[in-house]
Amino acid sequence: MADRPDAVGGGRLGYELVGHTAAPPEVVWPLVAEVEHWKEWSFLTHTFLRQPGAPDPNGVGAVRRLAVGPFGSTEEVVAFEPPRHLGYVARRGMPARHYRADVVLDPEGSGTRITWSGTMDPLVPGSGPLALAYARSFVRRFLSGLTRYADRRADGSPSTPG
């Protein structure tokens, strides 16, 4: 898994993490696009669709809630291009303003390269490094759980939470 911090400019902070799985994009896409699947492969305890998008319920305009116990975030899907690209913005629950993340799935041989990137503005002046470390830590764990789970699906092993 590669980790590349980005200097976005204008005080914005960013990251890009890359993972690889033996599963093809068609297997990985529903795991990423359908929020109900997130608790199968991540450390999240609650994931649900608060408001459906249109025309796809998980598509643009969908509002999702993701939580670990009582702590969580509310996100809105802003990009939905099956089976390649999911983009979302945080509406609440992030220690930063204007948080946007994009998950891009690219075919790689018979598997998938997963690029998870994000940008944000610090909430409090000087808090940028902490906010970026927080976001990177969560996404690194998401990416690790997703790739392990997708690999198990690709090889026919029983899928258990990441």
CB 119 within 8 A of CB 13: yes
Dihedral (CA of 17, 81, 26, 88) sign? positive
Length reported for the chain: 162
Q: What is the pLDDT of residues 67-100, one digit of tens each?
A: 998 899 999 999 999 999 999 999 998 778 899 9
Tell me the CATH number for domain 2-32+75-154. 3.30.530.20
Closest CA to 101 of 136, 66, 150: 136
Q: Is the pLDDT of residue 2 over 50?
A: no
For residue 44, give the 3-state DSSP assignment. Answer: coil
Distance from first CA to last CA of the chain, Å, rounded? 16
> How far apart are the C-alpha atoms of 110 and 20, rounded to whole Å?
11
Distances (CA, A) of 142 to 124, 148, 161: 26, 10, 11
Q: Is the pLDDT of residue 6 over 60?
A: no
> How far apart are the C-alpha atoms of 2 and 73, rounded to whole Å?
25
For residue 10, give the 3-state DSSP assignment. Answer: coil
Distance of CA 78 to the CA centre of its chain: 13
Mean of per-residue pLDDT scores for the chain: 90
Q: Is the pLDDT of residue 4 over 70?
A: no
Mean pLDDT of 150-154: 93
